[in-house]
Amino acid sequence: QVQLVESGGGLAQPGGSLRLSCTVSGFSLDEHVIGWFRQVPGKEREGVSCMRGSDGSTYYADSVKGRFAGSRDNAKNTVYLEMNNLEPDDTAVYYCAGDRWTSARSMCVHRVVSAWGQGVRVTVSS
Protein backbone atom coordinates (compact mmCIF):
# COMPACT_ATOMS: atom_id res chain seq x y z
CA GLN A 1 0.00 0.00 0.00
CA VAL A 2 1.40 3.35 -1.06
CA GLN A 3 1.53 5.94 1.68
CA LEU A 4 3.08 9.39 1.95
CA VAL A 5 3.18 11.11 5.34
CA GLU A 6 4.20 14.75 5.66
CA SER A 7 5.46 16.50 8.76
CA GLY A 8 7.12 19.76 9.69
CA GLY A 9 4.55 22.39 8.89
CA GLY A 10 3.71 25.21 11.23
CA LEU A 11 4.05 28.92 11.78
CA ALA A 12 7.04 30.95 10.65
CA GLN A 13 7.79 34.64 10.50
CA PRO A 14 8.57 36.33 7.20
CA GLY A 15 12.21 35.67 6.42
CA GLY A 16 12.20 32.54 8.54
CA SER A 17 12.65 28.90 7.65
CA LEU A 18 10.81 25.61 7.90
CA ARG A 19 11.64 22.10 6.77
CA LEU A 20 9.00 19.71 5.55
CA SER A 21 9.51 15.96 5.53
CA CYS A 22 7.71 13.30 3.53
CA THR A 23 8.19 9.66 4.43
CA VAL A 24 7.18 7.27 1.70
CA SER A 25 6.18 3.64 1.97
CA GLY A 26 4.98 1.18 -0.62
CA PHE A 27 7.24 2.30 -3.43
CA SER A 28 10.86 3.07 -4.14
CA LEU A 29 12.11 6.64 -4.32
CA ASP A 30 14.51 5.59 -7.07
CA GLU A 31 11.66 4.73 -9.44
CA HIS A 32 9.43 7.72 -8.88
CA VAL A 33 9.26 11.46 -8.97
CA ILE A 34 8.36 12.92 -5.57
CA GLY A 35 6.94 16.39 -5.53
CA TRP A 36 5.76 19.10 -3.21
CA PHE A 37 2.57 20.92 -4.12
CA ARG A 38 0.76 23.67 -2.31
CA GLN A 39 -2.75 25.02 -2.36
CA VAL A 40 -4.61 27.97 -0.94
CA PRO A 41 -8.40 28.31 -1.00
CA GLY A 42 -9.69 29.58 -4.31
CA LYS A 43 -6.49 28.86 -6.21
CA GLU A 44 -5.22 25.94 -8.24
CA ARG A 45 -2.77 23.57 -6.66
CA GLU A 46 0.78 24.65 -7.52
CA GLY A 47 3.72 22.37 -8.13
CA VAL A 48 6.47 23.84 -5.96
CA SER A 49 9.32 21.37 -6.28
CA CYS A 50 9.62 17.94 -7.86
CA MET A 51 12.58 15.58 -7.66
CA ARG A 52 13.30 12.63 -9.91
CA GLY A 53 14.42 9.76 -7.74
CA SER A 54 16.70 8.11 -10.30
CA ASP A 55 19.17 10.98 -10.41
CA GLY A 56 17.95 13.66 -8.02
CA SER A 57 17.26 16.20 -10.73
CA THR A 58 14.90 18.77 -9.28
CA TYR A 59 12.46 21.28 -10.69
CA TYR A 60 11.50 24.43 -8.78
CA ALA A 61 8.66 26.78 -9.52
CA ASP A 62 9.79 30.33 -10.24
CA SER A 63 7.97 31.50 -7.12
CA VAL A 64 10.33 29.52 -4.85
CA LYS A 65 13.53 29.25 -6.89
CA GLY A 66 16.53 30.27 -4.82
CA ARG A 67 14.60 29.99 -1.54
CA PHE A 68 13.45 26.38 -1.39
CA ALA A 69 15.66 23.31 -1.69
CA GLY A 70 14.70 19.66 -2.05
CA SER A 71 16.72 16.75 -0.75
CA ARG A 72 16.25 13.09 0.02
CA ASP A 73 17.48 10.31 2.25
CA ASN A 74 17.00 7.04 0.41
CA ALA A 75 17.89 5.01 3.48
CA LYS A 76 14.95 6.56 5.31
CA ASN A 77 12.72 6.69 2.21
CA THR A 78 12.19 10.34 3.04
CA VAL A 79 12.29 13.51 1.01
CA TYR A 80 12.62 16.99 2.43
CA LEU A 81 11.75 20.52 1.43
CA GLU A 82 13.88 23.18 3.07
CA MET A 83 12.03 26.48 2.88
CA ASN A 84 14.08 29.59 3.54
CA ASN A 85 13.38 33.30 3.39
CA LEU A 86 9.68 32.55 3.73
CA GLU A 87 7.15 35.05 2.50
CA PRO A 88 3.48 35.51 3.46
CA ASP A 89 2.56 34.26 -0.04
CA ASP A 90 4.09 30.90 0.89
CA THR A 91 1.19 30.36 3.27
CA ALA A 92 -0.66 27.26 2.06
CA VAL A 93 -1.33 23.61 2.69
CA TYR A 94 1.65 21.68 1.35
CA TYR A 95 1.22 18.20 -0.06
CA CYS A 96 3.77 15.54 -0.84
CA ALA A 97 2.97 13.39 -3.87
CA GLY A 98 4.60 10.71 -5.96
CA ASP A 99 4.21 9.01 -9.32
CA ARG A 100 6.14 7.35 -12.13
CA TRP A 101 6.91 10.40 -14.22
CA THR A 102 10.08 10.48 -16.30
CA SER A 103 10.39 14.24 -15.91
CA ALA A 104 10.30 16.07 -12.57
CA ARG A 105 9.29 19.28 -14.28
CA SER A 106 6.41 17.60 -16.09
CA MET A 107 4.93 16.20 -12.89
CA CYS A 108 5.08 19.58 -11.19
CA VAL A 109 3.61 21.43 -14.17
CA HIS A 110 0.88 18.96 -15.13
CA ARG A 111 0.04 17.94 -11.53
CA VAL A 112 -1.26 14.52 -12.55
CA VAL A 113 -0.19 12.38 -9.62
CA SER A 114 -1.63 9.15 -8.29
CA ALA A 115 -0.42 9.17 -4.68
CA TRP A 116 -0.84 12.08 -2.27
CA GLY A 117 -0.12 12.74 1.36
CA GLN A 118 -2.63 14.29 3.72
CA GLY A 119 -1.03 17.75 3.63
CA VAL A 120 0.53 20.01 6.24
CA ARG A 121 -0.28 23.63 6.86
CA VAL A 122 2.39 26.29 6.57
CA THR A 123 1.59 29.78 7.79
CA VAL A 124 3.96 32.68 7.29
CA SER A 125 2.96 35.65 9.36
CA SER A 126 4.41 38.17 11.76
- Please tell me the predicted confidence (pLDDT) of residue 125: 97
Per-residue pLDDT of the chain (126 residues; tens, 9 = 90+): 889 999 999 999 999 999 999 999 998 888 999 999 999 999 999 999 999 998 999 999 999 999 999 999 989 999 999 999 999 999 999 999 999 998 999 999 999 999 999 999 999 999
Strand 120-124 vs strand 10-12: parallel, antiparallel, or unpaired? parallel
- Please tell me the predicted confidence (pLDDT) of residue 1: 85
- Please tell me the predicted confidence (pLDDT) of residue 27: 84
DSSP 34: E
Side chain identity at 58, as an amino acid letter? T
